Amino acid sequence: MKIAIYPGSFDPVTLGHLDIINRASALFDKLIVVVMHNVSKKPIFSVEERKEFLRRTTKHIKGVEIDSFGGLLADYAAKQGACTIVKGLRAVSDFEYEFQMALTNRKLNPEVDTVFLMTSAEYMYLSSSMVKDIALHGGNVADFVPAEIESEIIARIRKDG
């Protein structure tokens, strides 16, 4: 059984993330989307909210599970018996950081490799921070976030963002 993990902050999940989840789920028997909660970014949504958004928007995709973790990704991969870490790559600016992370994770756990999926062109500039910024300033995020969570995201960001 080929198990992969797709880590991120998902604060909140965007159509760019879902595109990667859809495509990665077709490559593995099981894809665990894992909300990492030890990242330095200050999230707006709680880990539980982020997991709930992910659950609702991926429930129709076969082989996808949602989890959260705070610690070393290499340890989490070992615990789950995962052979692969999936990451999405947008612009060249993502590359240096991701390259460093991939080499570090391989050093920490040589059994696990990192696989990069190129963004789809329409999501090239899409990030959770951009969604938060647009929503906070009253812009339209319909093209960027899943329809089933759009109004909740907007309401929450305008209230607490």
Q: Give catalytic status of residue 59 as yes or no.
A: no
Stretch of 55-63, 64-72, 88-96, 149-157 lying at the interface with ligand ADP (CB under 6 A): 88-96
Identify which of 22, 35, 36 has the alpha carbon closest to the alpha carbon of residue 64.
22
Identify residue 152 by its one-letter amino acid code. Answer: E
Residue 79 host element (H or E): helix 73-80
Select which of 30, 90, 106, 156 is catalytic: 90
Q: Which is nearer to ligand ADP, 1 or 96 (CB)?
A: 96
Binding mask 106-145 for ligand ADP (x = CB under 6 A): -------------x---x--xxxx----------------
Q: Annotated binding site, which residues?
A: 9-10, 17, 41, 73, 87-90, 98, 123-129
